[in-house]
Amino acid sequence: MNQSEDGSVQVEGLNLDPEKAGIYAARIVSSADAKKVVSLIGPQHMTVDKATAKWSMHFDPPGEEVFYASDEKCLEVFIRRVKIDTIPYGQPSTEKIKVEHLE
């Protein structure tokens, strides 16, 4: 997890179960209050290399400090287990992300 010069946040990782789960959403939240969402993204802000199962995410600059704030932040990553081959990574979308339906 890194902060770019423009304030955006880049996250990279590895899907440990690429056959049964697809990365679908992520959010940055307050560690003191998980209902305080700083930023939420869906597959349009993600890329996945299916050959290596590596993924990356791009959060636009959040409205508040993430890395050096007194209110520490956490990254939550959500997966989907159905139709993982149809997840539209990097494609424009107007879908409203609802993490209640994700794991």
In 10 A of CB 76, how many CB atoms? 14
pLDDT digits (tens, 9 = 90+) for 19-62: 999 999 999 999 888 889 999 999 999 999 999 999 999 999 88
Q: For residue 35, what are its two tokens?
A: 């209902």
Calculated CA dihedral for residues 95, 97, 98, 103, nearest 10 degrees: 120
Task: Compute the distance between CA of residue 63 and CA of residue 75 in angstroms, rounded to an integer.
Answer: 16
Model-level pTM greater than 0.85?
A: yes
Calculated CA dihedral for residues 56, 44, 92, 63, nearest 10 degrees: -100
pLDDT digits (tens, 9 = 90+) for 8-26: 999 999 999 999 999 999 9
Could you tell me the domains of the chain?
Answer: 2-93 (2.60.40)
